Structure 1
Amino acid sequence: MANELTISGRIVSVLPLQTGTSKSGHDWQKQEYILDTGGQFPRKVCFSLFGDYLTKFPLQVGNDVTVSIDIESREWNSKWYTEVRAWNVTYASQQPQLQAQAPQPAPSAPPQPQPAPQKQAADNLPF
């Protein structure tokens, strides 16, 4: 069994809807989205929603999401094509809080000095 792959970020572009008819005569539709991962080294990833997933997970530019994906590569005419297909979307407003908020100090309490962050040796790596 493969590990579940997820990617998080903000939808920055919605590409045109693609439609067609399969060899067996069934209509299909596919929508591609560009997700920006943000952070110190942001990446843009194109992923697609196919068929009923389009109505199940409506996405718009500006949505912050975590997307569960499958990655598949296929060969055609001696060239390889890779597709990132989403099968589940969690909107940022639906994600559980990862960290409880710390209680705020009383207004009369003096601010506590914060220690300077220690740099890790890995912080200066370019990747």
Structure 2
Amino acid sequence: MALELIGKLIKVLPEVTGQGKNGAWNKQEFVIETLDSQYPKKVCLTAWGDKANDLKQFADGDTLKATFSAESREYNDRWYTELRAFRIEVAEGDSGYSAPPAPARSAQPQQARPAAQNQPAAMPFNTTFDDESNDLPF
């Protein structure tokens, strides 16, 4: 299952290395903030091996497109989820995603618009109706 995430690179965490039965390994975690202007989310992904080295070419603030897979595993009755990035690239301007523009706010109060000619006059809030004044067919 391949998922994609487009966002701004916020932080690259320190590289972690180790030695396993199959040889040396390295991984690096990084944080991307989504481009949703109203409720942006921060997501931490993991790059393993050569992908961790590829991460060094990007700077904080770059807009990236990360393709990743999600995997969960159990250890001592606890579940751990990892988002493993297997493709990290600069997001293109033509990627089809664009953040919605923020609404423009002006310091001046908005002026009242003239009422349309065909609209009925507004009724007072405390208007009461009796059965005879109600001309509805039901």
TM value normalised by structure 2: 0.62
Q: Pick from 10, 13, 34: which aligns with 1:12? A: 10
Structure 2: segments with no counterpart, 5+ residues: 97-138
How far off is 1:90 after superposition?
Answer: 2.0
Q: Report the residue type matching 1:78 in the other structure.
A: D
Please identify the structure whose Cα radius of gyration is greater.
2
Q: How does 1:57-68 map to 2 (within 5 A)?
A: 57-58=55-56, 59-68=58-67
Output the amino acid matched with 2:94.
Q
- Inter-partner Cα distance in structure 2 for 1:88 and 1:5: 10
> TM-score, normalised to structure 1's length?
0.67
Distance in 2, Cα, partners of 1:96 & 1:90: 12
Q: How many residues align?
A: 94
Aligned partners of 2:21, 2:39: CA distance in 1, in Å?
A: 42
Task: Give 1:104's aligned residue.
Answer: none
Structure 1 unaligned residues grouped into runs of 5+: 100-127
Sequence identity, in percent?
Answer: 35
State the distance in 2 between where 1:97 and 1:7 align: 15
Deviation at 1:98, TM superposition (A): 5.1
The root-mean-square deviation of aligned C-alpha atoms, in Å, is 1.7
After superposition, the C-alpha distances for 1:37-87 in whole angstroms (9 at most, x for unaligned) are 032211000001100112234333111101000000010111000000100
- Is residue 2:28 matched to residue 1:27? no
C-alpha distance in 2, partners of 1:60/1:5?
A: 23
1:117 alignment partner in structure 2: none
